[in-house]
Amino acid sequence: MPLTFAPDTEDALPLTLLSPETLESWLKGQEAATAAWVIGNDFRAGAGKVLLLPGADGAPRGALVGLGAEADRARGRFTLAAAATALPEGDWRLDDTLSGDDLDEAALGWLFAGYAFGRYKAKPAAKARLVAPPGVDAPRLEAIAAGEALVRDLINTPASDMGPSALAQAASDLAAEFGATFSAVEGPELLERNFPMIHAVGRAAEDAPRLIEMTWGDAGPALTLVGKGVCFDTGGLDIKPAAGMGLMKKDMGGAANVLGLARTIMALGLKVRLRVLVPAVENAIAGNAFRPGDILTSRRGLTVEINNTDAEGRLVLADALAYGAEAGPDLMISMATLTGAARVAVGPDLAPFYSDDDGFATALAASARRVADPVWRMPFWAPYEPMIEPGIADLDNAPKGGFAGSITAALFLRRFAGDVNYAHFDIYGWQPSAAPGRPVGGVGQGWRAILDTLPGVLG
């Protein structure tokens, strides 16, 4: 279903937002029958709780929605999204309890609650519709919701239908929708065009590896987005156990996130010169798969010793980053489902990021809080540089010892970003348990915070 607001009509029913702190005073201002109904139904304004208020004819005349206690509000996001799925069909209108960023979060969470992945099995969509609350930029929130839906759809689609060629088609369709330029370098041409590590990682798959490129905009600062597009990761010859492959359709989550961000940038008409690069591969197993112990020469000329074929994402990103850096963009950002170490460090909810630009990092943290898209800064810790330097090549793709795995991966990538202003996001891209506005499955992480940051950091 389209994730849009309902048109403003007089028939929209009121939604009253209450917290445990405001419930008692609200009850004092109601008729005795209404107060008795609320008390009799034990409505205590818990986070996401809904109570319909019956009219004289028995049909709802409105509803109460709980915001939860102050401590609950500090811990949760998108509380109103829970109400969106609990309310009956119809148009609803918020009261004026919320304003500013809180109102934006509530309205966006409602739109997110309308998402359902129904490609293979029909899923009931939320039937309650929200009238755009006064004070929100409805077209902007709808564009963000559409970008998030794209992210989720791409990640949720299994590799049988979302291999490198299908990911390229999705990018091509997106380019066509917004008048962007699309191209792809595929198969043996990757070697001819000097993308040797993208070719090496993906050459064993039946669906040929490729570098996807999309450009849009002819004015403003230059922004390059690079997304890891490993459409399925067996681990290669260093094969993953079965349990480790269970979610590997999501290993192109970085690509999905940059495409969702790109879609929103284009829909909103931001004044940037946008470039999107996605190295799309399947890390498969065959007689021509790259091997542990191989030495690969990258686009930048740096040699890389392969100590684990399951550390393939940084290899394909390295060639793409080197290519992106050659144009000298004002800002280059990579997003990737790169390391399990990041998940151990911060769990599935937080998107860790790396940047040497304190101004960008500070602005991003503020944006993340403002738009309820949490991130956490991690260090490009220079003393760990020797850990990625083996004895017989310039770089090691999988340092031994297991320490600081996310940091060493980020340091590896920085070697290929040249002198441009560069930030890297080591995301998870998956919602492991249902939460308001976020069903189990693919999810965007960090890109909404980036979107909010861009006008300030790019000028």
Q: What is the SS3 assignment for the chain?
A: CCCCCECCCCCCEEEEEECHHHHHHHHHCCCHHHHHHHHHCCCCCCCCCEEEEECCCCCEEEEEEECCCHHHHHHCCCHHHHHHHHCCCEEEEECCCCCHHHHHHHHHHHHHHCCCCCCCCCCCCCCEEEECCCCCCHHHHHHHHHHHHHHHHHHHCCCCCCCHHHHHHHHHHHHHHHCCEEEEEECCHHHHCCCHHHHHHHCCCCCCCEEEEEEECCCCCEEEEEECEEEEECCCCCCCCHHHHCCHHHHHHHHHHHHHHHHHHHHHCCCCEEEEEEEEEEECCCCCCCCCCCEEECCCCCEEECCCCCCCHHHHHHHHHHHHHCCCCCEEEEEECCCHHHHHHHCCCCEEEEECCHHHHHHHHHHHHHHCCCEEEECCCHHHHHHHCCCCCCEECCCCCCCCHHHHHHHHHHCCCCCCCEEEEECCCEECCCECCECCEECCCCHHHHHHHHHHHHC
Q: Is 264 inside any structural domain?
A: yes
Which sign, positive or negative, has the C-alpha torsion 414, 419, 420, 421?
A: positive
**Boundary (domain end) residue, out of 80, 114, 136:** 136
- Please provide the size of the chain in residues: 459
pLDDT score recorded for residue 9:
86
Please tell me the distance from the alpha carbon of residue 164 to that of residue 152, in angstroms, as a whole number. 17
Question: Does residue 450 belong to any structural domain of this protein?
Answer: yes
Are the beta carbons of 225 and 258 closer than 8 angstroms? yes
Same domain, 296 and 445: yes
Q: Which of 44, 61, 73, 240 is catalytic?
A: 240
Whether residue 263 is found in the same domain as residue 347? yes
Do 128 and 266 sit in the same domain of this protein? no
Tell whether 5 is covered by a domain: no
Is 337 part of any domain?
yes
Mean pLDDT per 10-residue interval, the chain, length 459 residues: 84 95 95 96 95 92 94 86 92 95 96 95 85 96 98 98 98 98 98 98 98 97 98 98 96 98 98 98 98 98 97 98 98 97 96 98 98 98 95 94 94 97 98 96 98 92
User: Cα–Cα distance between 112 and 374 in angstroms, integer?
Assistant: 16
Is 210 one of the catalytic residues?
no
Do 364 and 332 share a structural domain? yes
- Give the per-residue pLDDT at 165: 98
Which residues form the domain of 346?
A: 142-458
Asked if residue 1 is part of any domain, the answer here is no
Residue 366 sits in the same domain as residue 452: yes
pLDDT at position 2 is: 67
We report the CATH number of the domain holding residue 330 as 3.40.630.10
Task: Given the residues 314, 414, 415, 448, select the one marked as catalytic.
Answer: 314
Residue 76: CATH number of its domain: 3.40.220.10
Which pLDDT score is estimated for 1?
A: 52
Whether residues 311 and 263 share a domain: the answer is yes
pLDDT value at residue 297? 98
Domain count, the chain: 2
Based on the domain organization, do 200 and 276 belong to the same domain? Answer: yes
pTM score above 0.75: yes
Domain boundary (136, 163, 192) is at 136
The answer to whether residues 147 and 117 belong to one domain is: no
CA dist., res. 75 & res. 387, Å (int): 37
Q: What is the pLDDT of residue 340?
A: 94
**Residue 127 confidence (pLDDT):** 86
231 and 343, same domain (yes or no): yes
Q: What is the pLDDT of residue 48?
A: 92
3 lies in some domain: no
For 373, 420, 454, the CA distances from 111, given in Å and listed in that order, are 15, 36, 23
| Residue 237 to residues 93, 285, 449, Cα–Cα distance (Å) | 56, 6, 37
Instruction: Please indicate, yes or no, whether residues 311 and 170 belong to a single structural domain of this protein.
Output: yes
Among residues 136, 154, 182, which one ends one of the domains? 136
Token look-up 């949760």 returns 76
Residue 117: both structure tokens together: 């992945």
Q: What is the pLDDT of residue 210?
A: 98
Shared domain check, 294 and 386: yes
CB 459 within 8 A of CB 275: no
For residue 213, the model assigns a pLDDT of 98
CB atoms within 10 A of CB 70: 11
Return the structure tokens found at 238: 């260093």
Active site residue 240: yes
